[in-house]
Amino acid sequence: MSAVPRIARAIPHGTITRPAVGIPVIARLRWVNGQDVDVAAFAIAWTREAVEVRWQNREESRADWIPAADVRRTVQEQPDGSERPPSSRGQLRKNRW
């Protein structure tokens, strides 16, 4: 029997949003031994305080709820070549200075 990894999990409260396709993210897994590891994952559901991420652990795929503060979007290349993601208005944000 393989060892089950023990990570700090979150309990989702409130309305759960599930996208049609998972969103690529970087998830910080906080292991019970105190070690934090960033892994590539997909956000497959979320609430205001928690995100369900699907990530790969060796040969098996896992899905766990973790605190939303431990998830960040990956930077994807934009059509215009910039690395900044679009704003919620659909335009690239430019610094005022």
pLDDT tens figures, 74-93: 765 445 555 555 555 555 55
Q: Which residues contact 61 (CB under 8 A, 6 or more apart)?
A: 54, 55
pLDDT in tens, 17-69: 999 999 999 999 998 888 899 999 999 999 999 999 999 988 889 999 999 99
- The candidate with the shortest Cα–Cα distance to 33, out of 68, 5, 54, 64, is 5
In a domain, 68, yes or no: yes
Do 52 and 96 contact (CB within 8 A), yes or no? no
d(CA 54, CA 88): 25
In a domain, 13, yes or no: no
Q: Rounded to two decimals, what is the model's pTM?
A: 0.71
Give me the number of domains the chain comprises: 1
In a domain, 10, yes or no: no
Q: How are beta strands 36-46 and 50-57 bridged, if at all?
A: antiparallel
Boundaries of domain holding 32: 23-73
- Write out the two tokens for 38: 């960033």
In a domain, 43, yes or no: yes
Q: Which residues contact 94 (CB under 8 A, 6 or more apart)?
A: none
